Amino acid sequence: MIDNVTCIILAGGKSSRMGRDKSFVPFLGKPLIENVIDKMEPIFKDTIIVTNSPHLYKKYKMETRVDILTDRGPLGGIHAGLSYSKNKYNLVVACDMPFLNEGLIRLMTERLVDCDAVVPRCKGRLEPLCAVYSKSCIRLIESEIASNNLKMMNFLELVKIRIIEET
C-alpha cells in the first residue's frame, strides 16, 4: 500500500457535454466512480474525493472535500485536492476512468524525483487527469486561476514534468 501519496478523485465536474453527473453513470454493473474507488482503495492509504456535492458520496465512507476556488474546472479540483492533502505528492484521477492501470500508477509514484508532476502520454496526448502532482504546484495553480488560465495543457507547460511514455 502506498502511504506517502494521496489519491485524489475528481468528481466535481459539471458534465456539460454529458448532461448528467458522470460519476454515477453505470459501467460494468456499478457507477463509474465505484470502479475507480475499487481500483484505488487497495493501493492508497489516503483517498480524497473532490466534489461540490459531498452528500452524494457519503455512502463511500471516504473523505470528501469541496473546491476552494469554485467553477474553475479540473484545475480548481486539483487545487482543492492538493490543498487538503497531507502528502507532498498526490495522484489525481478523474471519476470516469474505470480502466486505471495499477502498474502505471505505481510507476508514476516511483518516478517522483526532481519534478512537479509525473504525467503519462498515450497515443501522443498527455493525460493530466491521471497524473501525480506535487503540492509545490498550488501557488502556480492559484496564479493561473487568478489570470483565468484554466487549461490543463497550458498549466503543464509551466511546471517541470516527467513524462511516462506509453511504451
pLDDT of residue 20: 64
pLDDT of residue 167: 79
pLDDT of residue 30: 93
pLDDT of residue 148: 95
pLDDT of residue 87: 97
- The three grid cell numbers given for residue 2, joined into one nine-digit string: 502506498
Closest CA to 91 of 43, 124, 52: 43
Enter the pTM of the model. 0.93
Query: What is the mean pLDDT for each group of 10 consecutive residues in the chain (167 residues)?
Result: 94 62 88 94 96 93 92 95 97 94 94 94 95 97 96 96 91
Closest CA to 156 of 148, 167, 144: 144
Q: Confirm if 125 and 164 have CB atoms less than 8 A apart.
A: no
**If 0-12 CB within 10 Å is exposed, 13-18 middle and 19+ buried, where does residue 66 land?**
middle
Read off the DSSP letter of residue 105. Answer: H
pLDDT of residue 18: 52
